[in-house]
Structure 1
């Protein structure tokens, strides 16, 4: 077997992977770690992109904490040139369900539709140990338009 060398270098995109406890503090920790990771990227993200990704992270981790089985969930962020991929895995096989928003502010119901509005793509993958909910959030260009 032979291999050929190429002048190009293969490098993985910057990524963050963290196991989180399924407790209310888990969502706060996820927001903090995500924002810290995003602020360290080169080229830098626009503030509105950081806020969008952190909001999606917060919603996905909060849903995992509230609705999933088990004591932990995992957050995975990956920075691609045109988008940020967010994935949250938990121990439940039940996919997220859209709900009628509670406008009184007590019952929630806004998160799943909001994630779909922010993200370019959303997927739910059933796995042996539970599920992973993924969202792809586009990065904005210098002219202010989003990559699509």
Structure 2
């Protein structure tokens, strides 16, 4: 199924959410899942901007049974969970992404990384 075209550096959260909303609308995705996807998009894009120098690639794809949100950046540093280590603030967005998504993947990509969050089209459990 078609997804978003490649989007490069300078992508803002607002733009990413508009792109995601367009893809989800084209696939008639329900409102509750749209809200979850937009939250994941916001967290992943804002983290790439805040911690990794910006987004180098962004895609939203509707797959059989799930929606995949892919955000690439130029940093090899992996996201951290809250309190790891305790003197470093943050990590709550990554925790939230992992609670909303069915699964997440982090893979090295051209000197940086790509994070993919998969959100189920049907409720889990």
Task: Show structure 1 runs of 4+ deviating over 6 A.
Answer: none
Structure 1 window deviating more from structure 2 (108-117 vs 128-137): it is: 108-117
Structure-to-structure mapping, 1:55-134, within 5 angstroms = 55-69=39-53, 72-100=55-83, 108-134=90-116
SS state at 1:56 partner: helix
Structure 1 window deviating more from structure 2 (72-81 vs 32-41): it is: 72-81
2:86 equivalent in structure 1: none
2:33 equivalent in structure 1: 49
Structure 2: runs of 5+ lacking an equivalent: 84-88
> Higher helix fraction: Structure 1 or Structure 2?
2
* Higher alpha-carbon Rg: 1
- Aligned Cα root-mean-square deviation (Å): 1.9
- Alignment partner of 2:2 out of 14, 24, 46: 14
TM-score, L = length of structure 1 = 0.73
Does residue 29 of the first structure (1) align with residue 18 of the second (2)? no
Structure 1: runs of 5+ lacking an equivalent: 1-12, 101-106, 141-145
CA contact 1:89–1:133 (8 Å) conserved in 2: yes
Q: Name the CA shift for 1:14/1:50 in 2 (closer, same or farther; >3 Å).
A: same
Cα displacement (A) at 1:147: 5.6
TM-score, L = length of structure 2 = 0.85
SS state at 2:72 partner: strand
Aligned residues: 120
